[in-house]
Chain A
Amino acid sequence: MNLMTERSLEKAVGDKMNAVASTNKMKGDKVSVFYGAKQALFDVDLDIPEKMVTALIGPSGCGKSTFLRSLNRMNDTIEGCRVTGQITLDGEDIYDPKIDVVELRARVGMVFQKPNPFPKSIYENVAYGPRIHGLAKSRHELDEIVESSLRRASLFEEVKDRLHDAGTGLSGGQQQRLCIARAIAVSPEVILMDEPCSALDPIATAKVEELIDELRQNYTIVIVTHSMQQAARVSQKTAMFHLGNLVEVGETEMMFTTPKEKRTQDYITGRFG
């Protein structure tokens, strides 16, 4: 009992310390995004601290997904989409023509709103990434990567007897954890999650949230969410968007207790959005 409180206290203190001391893994500098002629993001300056969870919140259509997608250049796949400003990963401009998008996306992985496992076996879903990136030298090593990724996504126990069954045959929550395992398997440095729990029930959501909290030890995480409670529970830093602008950004605790902007306060308390 005593031990428990001590540990949680330690953790809370650690979080605070981290928030102050942590270096920034990614930096967004005057990021604007256009879809054709329409501007969806306006000069967003947002830093993503290392080994922490950053939550992006804001009403629908405010540009959270757009910002998230510009962090691993998934915007490139959208026709007519243009990004200006600068985004760096470990100080390197990711929109530099010398940067290889494929390598970038291996370093900055992504989990999508709707679980989207490949229509292949569970094993193949996880093994695909390591295989194309040449992360395993032998079948045995690949097996190990698959197992440890599934374990870290706390899915292994549920699926260990049917690794070769279709991934699409899992429940929604399991599919989402499978997608997380798939993202982890390529050992990314940053994981982007776009409303990863919006298709899940509360129990599956709790599992994924728990998982996110664990992943924070090793990965930098950016999560888009519509749930204020979720943002409060899992993130250390929160950024509030509105109509393509970054309204306010700060430590999660501060944001939810003493927001500086009226819009943030209104949104958090559910007055609009």
Chain B
Amino acid sequence: MTDATFNSNVAAVGRPVRRDIGIKRRYAAERRFRFYGVAAIAVGIFFLFALLFSVISNGYTAFWQTTIELPVKLDEKLIDPSNQRATNPNVLLTANYPLLVRNALAEKLGVSTTDRPAMRDLSKFVSDGVRNQLREMVVANPSLIGTTQTIPVLAGADIDSAFKGQINLDVDEANRKVSNRQVAWMKELADEGVMRQKFNTGLFTYGASSRPETAGLGVALVGSLYMMLIVLVLSLPIGVAASIYLEEYAKKSRLTDIIEVNINNLAAVPSIVFGLLGLAVFINLVGLPRSASLVGGLVLTLMTLPTVIIATRAALRAVPPSIRSAALGIGASKTQMVFHHVLPLAAPGILTGTIIGLAQALGETAPLLLIGMVAFVVGYPTTPMDPATALPVQIYMWANEAERAFVERTSGAIIVLLLFLAVMNIAAIILRRRFERRW
């Protein structure tokens, strides 16, 4: 009896029992989990590339614009027939400049100016934007009158589309926007080398226009710039101050708990609600002007603040407690501790959070629609109080246009917006690296 017990004990010690702990199953589970992860990332990357591909393939042509180098005779008989410009400067403003260009083109292509249908095709061939272009040129320098100048004029929107190969020329002539005659002219001018595509600087400088070829992002860029500055100048100091107070000074109490919960909730509030708030408070109550980038900036600040506060608090919390003890231990006051040690260490995190908040604000559209920034603004806003639009709003407005040239501009503007966002994110990464290397 005792022997048997003794023996079985020896066996148990000598050869440990094999335990079934399901190694195979665990490996299988791990493999499965990895597969899910890889699949999720693959799907994400696929959609990212699909998005980039569609936007870029639709939009890259927006950065090119068809122009025609044309020798235009600034005929005094047509601009100022009765030679009044010394006494009446309005003459130069109201002159029929497109006619000059039309005549120049007719001469170049050997079209008779009395051929009415041909002249109608010709007038669509160049953009009506030449009116402004020539007017500015002549008003700035009246001595040009009477001379012949070689001027790069923009092609009309449809001609531009056709020249870029975006219009199917196999369709019956009656059903397409460019006539056979125009196509022939295009070939002739292109062969001669005077009609070609140039980098579209106008996309970045022009304001709103109903003609796609003279519509640009200029006003939207200025508006967005104003708003970003306002958001930065307001949300960074307010957000950082609030976070420092909550994180370092405030005693834990029911009140701070409520504030904390509400800040987290605010970050999740739909942006359009902030738009309504801005409309009610800044425009209706305070009486700030509609469509102004100041109001837009204030609304976006409200929207960005929770993001900045949450990021800043996380960054402050990540500073090791030993650093705080070290500072307090040699007799630094709380404020010295915060500003000399904690804040510098938290700065990379704060900056990253702020830039991400700014990037969010840059892409925000809904609240801006409510405060009237969907506006047709031709001239640059000189102050943040002037009417302006913003990049995403401009995209929204162009997306509602049917013309082919607006479609490509929509995608072009999206590319510009994405580039800005990418630059901001890269800046966030660089700043973080920079600061982190210092310690």
Which A residues are closer than 8 A to B by beta carbons?
Answer: 72, 74, 77, 79, 102-106, 109-112, 114, 116-120, 128-129, 132-133, 166, 168, 179, 182-183, 185-186
B429 to A: closest C-beta gap in Å: 20
Knowing A116-B325, A118-B323, A118-B341, the reply to whether A106 touches B330 (Cβ < 8 A) is yes
Q: Is the CB of B326 within 8 A of A112?
A: yes
24 A-B pairs with C-beta separation under 8 A: A74-B325, A79-B251, A102-B331, A102-B333, A103-B331, A104-B331, A110-B329, A112-B326, A116-B326, A117-B326, A118-B327, A119-B345, A128-B332, A128-B340, A129-B330, A129-B331, A132-B331, A132-B332, A133-B331, A168-B439, A179-B326, A182-B330, A186-B330, A186-B331
| Chain B neighbourhood of A119, CB < 8 A | 323, 345, 438-439
| Chain A neighbourhood of B341, CB < 8 A | 118
C-alpha spacing A77/B331, complex, angstroms: 13
When A and B form their complex, what is the total count of cross-chain residue pairs whose Cβ atoms lie within 8 Å?
68
Of A74, A120, A179, A186, the residue contacting B439 (CB under 8 A) is A120
| Chain B neighbourhood of A186, CB < 8 A | 330-331
Of A72, A106, A109, A116, the most chain B CB neighbours within 10 A belong to A116
Q: Would you list the 5 A-B pairs with minimal beta carbon distance, nearest first?
A: A119-B439, A106-B331, A116-B322, A110-B329, A105-B331
C-alpha spacing A74/B328, complex, angstroms: 8
Q: Across the interface, name the chain B residue whose C-beta is closest to A117.
A: B326
C-alpha spacing A106/B333, complex, angstroms: 10
Does B15 make an interface contact (CB < 8 A)? Answer: no
| Chain B neighbourhood of A185, CB < 8 A | 330
Knowing A79-B252, A119-B439, A120-B439, the reply to whether A128 touches B330 (Cβ < 8 A) is yes
Of B251, B252, B323, the residue contacting A116 (CB under 8 A) is B323
B374 to A: closest C-beta gap in Å: 49
C-alpha spacing A185/B323, complex, angstroms: 17
C-alpha spacing A183/B322, complex, angstroms: 15
A65 to B: closest C-beta gap in Å: 12
Knowing A118-B341, A119-B345, A119-B439, the reply to whether A105 touches B328 (Cβ < 8 A) is yes
Q: Is the CB of B345 within 8 A of A77?
A: no
Q: Across the interface, name the chain B residue whose C-beta is closest to A76.
A: B328
Does B324 make an interface contact (CB < 8 A)? Answer: yes
| Chain B neighbourhood of A182, CB < 8 A | 326, 330
Knowing A79-B252, A168-B439, the reply to whether A118 touches B332 (Cβ < 8 A) is no
Does B336 make an interface contact (CB < 8 A)? Answer: yes
C-alpha spacing A74/B336, complex, angstroms: 16
Q: Is the CB of B323 within 8 A of A109?
A: no
Q: Which of B315-362 contact A (CB under 8 A)?
A: 320, 322-333, 336, 340-341, 345
| Chain A neighbourhood of B252, CB < 8 A | 79
C-alpha spacing A79/B341, complex, angstroms: 21
Q: Is the CB of B332 within 8 A of A109?
A: no
| Chain A neighbourhood of B326, CB < 8 A | 112, 116-118, 179, 182
C-alpha spacing A133/B332, complex, angstroms: 8
B253 to A: closest C-beta gap in Å: 11
Q: Which of B280-332 contact A (CB under 8 A)?
A: 320, 322-332
C-alpha spacing A114/B328, complex, angstroms: 15
A188 to B: closest C-beta gap in Å: 8
| Chain B neighbourhood of A166, CB < 8 A | 439
A18 to B: closest C-beta gap in Å: 27
C-alpha spacing A105/B334, complex, angstroms: 12
Q: Is the CB of B330 within 8 A of A183?
A: yes
Q: Across the interface, name the chain B residue whose C-beta is closest to A185.
A: B330
B134 to A: closest C-beta gap in Å: 64
B101 to A: closest C-beta gap in Å: 67
| Chain A neighbourhood of B329, CB < 8 A | 72, 74, 105, 109-112, 183
Of A112, A117, A129, A183, the residue contacting B325 (CB under 8 A) is A112
C-alpha spacing A117/B324, complex, angstroms: 11
Q: Across the interface, name the chain A residue whose C-beta is closest to B332.
A: A132
Q: Across the interface, name the chain A residue whose C-beta is closest to B330.
A: A129
Q: Is the CB of A114 within 8 A of B439?
A: no
Q: Across the interface, name the chain B residue whose C-beta is closest to A114.
A: B322
A187 to B: closest C-beta gap in Å: 11
| Chain B neighbourhood of A74, CB < 8 A | 325, 328-329
Knowing A132-B336, A166-B439, A168-B439, the reply to whether A77 touches B324 (Cβ < 8 A) is yes
C-alpha spacing A77/B333, complex, angstroms: 11
Q: Is the CB of A102 within 8 A of B322?
A: no
| Chain B neighbourhood of A168, CB < 8 A | 439
| Chain B neighbourhood of A104, CB < 8 A | 331
B425 to A: closest C-beta gap in Å: 26
| Chain B neighbourhood of A120, CB < 8 A | 439
C-alpha spacing A132/B333, complex, angstroms: 9
C-alpha spacing A182/B324, complex, angstroms: 14
Quick one: CB contact mask for B400-439 with A, threshold 8 Å, 1 for yes?
0000000000000000000000000000000000000011
C-alpha spacing A74/B252, complex, angstroms: 18
C-alpha spacing A117/B325, complex, angstroms: 11
| Chain B neighbourhood of A116, CB < 8 A | 320, 322-323, 325-326
C-alpha spacing A109/B323, complex, angstroms: 15
